[in-house]
């Protein structure tokens, strides 16, 4: 008989009797690695290699078969399953249907997998380690989608093609510049006088057995003038004479050398001018002026010598002097534009008939 006041079995609540006891913390620690462990995968997976079929079984060879045995087995199965080479076997009936294309495709896939040493090694590893599911997918598709041509060869061919295009494009621009200069009276007269002094024009007009027509003489004289202009004039900037060292191919090859040269030059600059406090030379002053003007080396080289001398006289490598010079240039430009009749017409048009204004003409 139960003691008074003590709850009996009949008085207990049912849900208290059915509630499981909480697991101890040590048991939870032991179960965590089991829960987080990767789930083992099947060795043969659809979408990889031969799918759910064993590639060795498809060809009828063992895993220790040599490449010659694999090739022999493939040729036999190809003659049997290829739709164009199919011949009925002696045991087949008269109405036997040829094998399906899927059968031959499976045989071809098995052979492609096993004939390559690296692919066969990956496939054997998948058979031996089926639990590394995602690793098998990575190796399969990395080989399947890998480019057939070496990427380095593609890059080299592309750089060479761009360099060839650069070279001929630069020569075309240079020849256009020479042809234009040959039409400028200032340069043409000087080139003609030099050609007369050297007797080149007389040679072009010589008469003999090989008498030339007027057009041939004119073309030859034009070429003589152009050649003299090429030898006497120094074109800089975008129309300068192309140099092989400026091509992309040579720039890529010489990039390590240029990088090391720049690092050495920068270290010398810091040591000489920042640490030792030496005065800038003419080359360094022109470099600072070019950087202040935000001009490239080719653009700065295209400037006349007297302009560079003016920059040096005004000491434009000093920031304060350059700001004053820049302000003067802007004011001078404004004055020129203010006195230019074309600029006045443009401002008048912008004010009266410029963009954003609708006008209607009544006929």
What are the DSSP calls for 145-160, one per residue?
A: SS-SS-HHHHHHHHHH
CA distance 325 to 333: 12
How far is it, in rounded angstroms, from Cα 288 to Cα 299?
14
Residue 261 has pLDDT above 90, yes or no: yes
CA 145 to chain centre: 20
CA distances from 296 to 90, 300, 320, 335 (A): 84, 6, 22, 28
Residue with token string 């050609």? 195
Q: Which helix (H) or strand (E) holds 56?
A: helix 55-59
pLDDT score, position 8: 44
CA dihedral (82, 88, 89, 92) in degrees, to 10, reads 120
Question: What pLDDT, on a 0 to 100 scale, did the predictor assign at position 268?
Answer: 92
- pLDDT-derived band at 50 (thresholds 50, 70, 90) equals confident
- Mean pLDDT, all residues of the chain: 77
> Of 213-217, 293-297, 323-327, which range is least confident?
213-217
What pTM does this model have? 0.47
Q: What percent of the chain has pLDDT over 70?
A: 74
The answer to whether 43 touches 129, Cβ cutoff 8 Å, is no
Most confident segment among 182-186, 196-200, 230-234: 182-186
Bigger pLDDT: 241 vs 57: 57
Q: Greater confidence, 43 or 121?
A: 121
In angstroms, rounded to a whole number, what is the distance separating the alpha carbons of residues 126 and 37? Answer: 19
Q: Does the pLDDT of residue 39 top 80, yes or no?
A: no
């Amino acid at each position: 008989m139960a003691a008074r006041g003590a709850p009996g079995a009949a008085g207990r609540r049912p849900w208290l009797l059915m509630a499981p006891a909480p697991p101890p913390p040590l048991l939870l620690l032991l179960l965590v690695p089991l829960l987080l462990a990767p789930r083992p995968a099947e060795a043969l997976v659809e979408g990889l290699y031969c799918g759910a079929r064993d590639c060795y079984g498809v060809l009828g060879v063992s895993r220790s078969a040599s490449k010659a045995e694999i090739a022999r087995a493939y040729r036999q199965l190809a003659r049997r399953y290829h739709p164009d080479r199919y011949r009925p076997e002696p045991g087949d009936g008269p109405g036997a249907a040829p094998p399906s294309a899927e059968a031959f495709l499976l045989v071809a896939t098995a052979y492609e997998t096993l004939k390559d040493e690296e692919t066969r090694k990956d496939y054997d590893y998948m058979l031996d380690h089926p639990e590394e599911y995602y690793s098998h997918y990575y190796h399969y598709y990395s080989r399947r989608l890998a480019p057939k041509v070496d990427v380095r060869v593609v890059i080299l061919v592309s750089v060479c093609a761009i360099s060839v295009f650069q070279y001929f494009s630069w020569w075309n621009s240079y020849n256009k510049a020479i042809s234009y200069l040959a039409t400028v009276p200032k340069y043409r007269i000087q080139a003609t006088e030099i050609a007369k002094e050297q007797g080149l024009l007389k040679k072009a007009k010589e008469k003999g057995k090989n008498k030339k027509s007027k057009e041939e003489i004119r073309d030859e004289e034009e070429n003589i003038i152009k050649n003299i202009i090429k030898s006497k004039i120094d074109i800089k900037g975008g129309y300068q004479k192309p140099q092989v060292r400026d091509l992309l191919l040579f720039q890529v090859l010489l990039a390590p050398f240029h990088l090391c040269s720049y690092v050495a030059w920068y270290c010398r600059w810091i040591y000489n001018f920042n640490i030792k406090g030496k005065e800038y030379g003419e080359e360094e002053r022109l470099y600072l002026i070019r950087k202040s003007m935000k001009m490239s080396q080719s653009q700065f080289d295209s400037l006349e010598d007297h302009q560079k001398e003016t920059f040096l006289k005004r000491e434009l490598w000093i920031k304060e002097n350059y700001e004053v010079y820049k302000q003067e240039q802007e004011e001078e430009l404004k004055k020129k534009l203010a006195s230019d009749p074309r600029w006045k017409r443009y401002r008048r048009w912008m004010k009266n008939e410029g963009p954003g204004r609708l006008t209607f003409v009544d006929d």
